Chains A and B, each alone.
Chain A
């Protein structure tokens, strides 16, 4: 049954996931090419100096992309379920409702992690020849909250979309917006290092919120 659920989710989101992976990887590649180009133009020393003395990491424009990718994935995966009332059918499969919900969320989470990991690895490999490990670590650790925000956006998006009533949905949207703001409070590189393990845990726990919406759907809550 788990395989069938995953296949169903894949059929629903495959084109978007391929598109999202291409966009994320292509944008990361563009940022890396831009860094290489700057080195060709001004020399590696200039780039190192700017990174060390002005705390620049050259990939700041990547910050909101994972968030958008996560949010749109939630939309692509769960909006059809609600609009066509497919969720009712899904929840009547001979599989525990909670396991069905978790399987759907797990699929989305793994798809996002895979997509973000490819971007992360691409940046890591691309910087290997031009920057020392200390600066590579600095850049990658600085981008970690953005990718975590993408996962949080997906889980919060799923929670909002699965909610059957608009009154609650609006309240959830406001709360989600505030929660996602936490990931963008500071643009100082590595500012989230100490807070990151807690933020990651809080993000993963957001998966439990969708169960509330599903439960309200099962209870027949309507506008």
Chain B
């Protein structure tokens, strides 16, 4: 017993030293590096980088080394700085040979963000299906939540904490009639009051089939989405951008992002590849001409420019930010997962 106690004490001491010492050293010595902000300019067909220089402060430049003033950068990114250009009276009549109004630009601008920590989040298996046709301007959260069971779905009224059997049956039957196999493997939605409209839920059923589910005036709307041959969905994202062109984004088993068009439910392969939603963070700033995509991991940042019409890759830029000194050690948390466990990092 004494020997075991000694060994156990040695183990605990070693583990705590491997945890505390690197943490203390990193805390004292490491300085977080600043990553540049990058946007793709369709006018110069290059990325514009906003990087911090120790001596000159903020520096705006492209990948060829050309530097720009603030006003020049505003003009080179007209869809991003639309309000500034309008305020300055510098809004052009045409953009890339096309007559575009500031209103049109603002309507088609969007931003999308997904963090690995959110994808890996520990969620309670209760979901909110908002009313997509309430007739009200302001979005409201529903008065019930739903849970999926092996045989169907159940709506639970929040006020009474009881299952609404009639509504549950109606939605279950609708989904089953469309060929949905319970229980779903993946569920995506954006319950929020801070959006213009609701796109409902994207569901991946037990047989890996993709479905769209909405609630329209309390009644179910379900639609089966045909997947292109060989496409294995892995992660779903519902999008509710102002221009209503997209229903969602989908990441497949090969880490390629697909866009699901809202008007015809067709899936389009994008030029965004090598994106692992469970390990990488992604942000997309889109406009009517192109999307600037940032895929970041703790080691590198990849910037992609995607054509907004064809969704094909236009340009890429890889940056390895200076993360400063880092001493590896034992840690429990992770920037990509909320689950705690011993990790060597």
Contacts and interface: CB of A to CB of B under 8 A. Distances in A.
Do A and B pair up? The answer is yes
Interface residues of A, number: 38
B5 A209 contact: yes
B37 interface: no
A81 B19 CA distance: 34
A138 B9 CA distance: 33
A186 B126 contact: no
B159 interface: yes
A193 B338 CA distance: 10
Interface residues of B, number: 35
B143 A134 contact: no
A185 interface: yes
B4 A129 contact: no
A80 interface: no
A137 to B, nearest CB: 8
A129 B191 CA distance: 25
Interface string B1-20: 11011101100110010011
Interface string B140-181: 010101010000000010111100000000000000000000
A51 B20 contact: no
Contacts of A179: 12, 16
Interface in A164-223: 175, 178-179, 182, 185-186, 188-195, 198, 202, 205, 208-209, 211-212, 215
A93 interface: no
B8 A209 contact: yes
Interface of B: 1-2, 4-6, 8-9, 12-13, 16, 19-20, 122, 124-126, 128, 141, 143, 145, 147, 156, 158-161, 191-192, 332-333, 338-342
Given A131-B161, A211-B5, 8 more contacts: A44-B158, A45-B159, A52-B126, A52-B128, A52-B191, A53-B128, A191-B340, A211-B2
Contacts of A52: 124, 126, 128, 145, 191
A48 B142 CA distance: 11
- If over half of A's interface residues share one DSSP class (helix, strand or loop), that class is named, otherwise mixed; here it is helix
Given A175-B16, A186-B338, A132 B5 contact: no
Contacts of A135: 124, 126
A208 B8 contact: yes
A188 B5 contact: no
Given A44-B161, A132-B156, A195 B125 contact: no
Contacts of A190: 122
A123 to B, nearest CB: 16
A209 B8 CA distance: 8
Nearest to B1: A211
A98 interface: yes
Contacts of A48: 145, 158
B85 to A, nearest CB: 36
Contacts of A211: 1-2, 5
A172 B89 CA distance: 70
B341 A51 contact: no
Contacts of A45: 141, 143, 158-159
B5 A208 contact: yes
A212 B9 contact: yes
A193 B20 CA distance: 23
Contacts of B5: 208-209, 211-212, 215
Q: Which 4 A-B pairs rank lowest in CB-CB distance, beginning with the nearest? A: A45-B158, A178-B16, A190-B122, A212-B5
Contact of B340 (A44, A130, A194): A194
Interface string A115-140: 00000000000000111101100100
Given A44-B161, A134-B126, A211-B2, A205 B191 contact: no
A37 to B, nearest CB: 16
A46 to B, nearest CB: 9
Given A175-B16, A178-B16, A211-B1, A132 B161 contact: yes
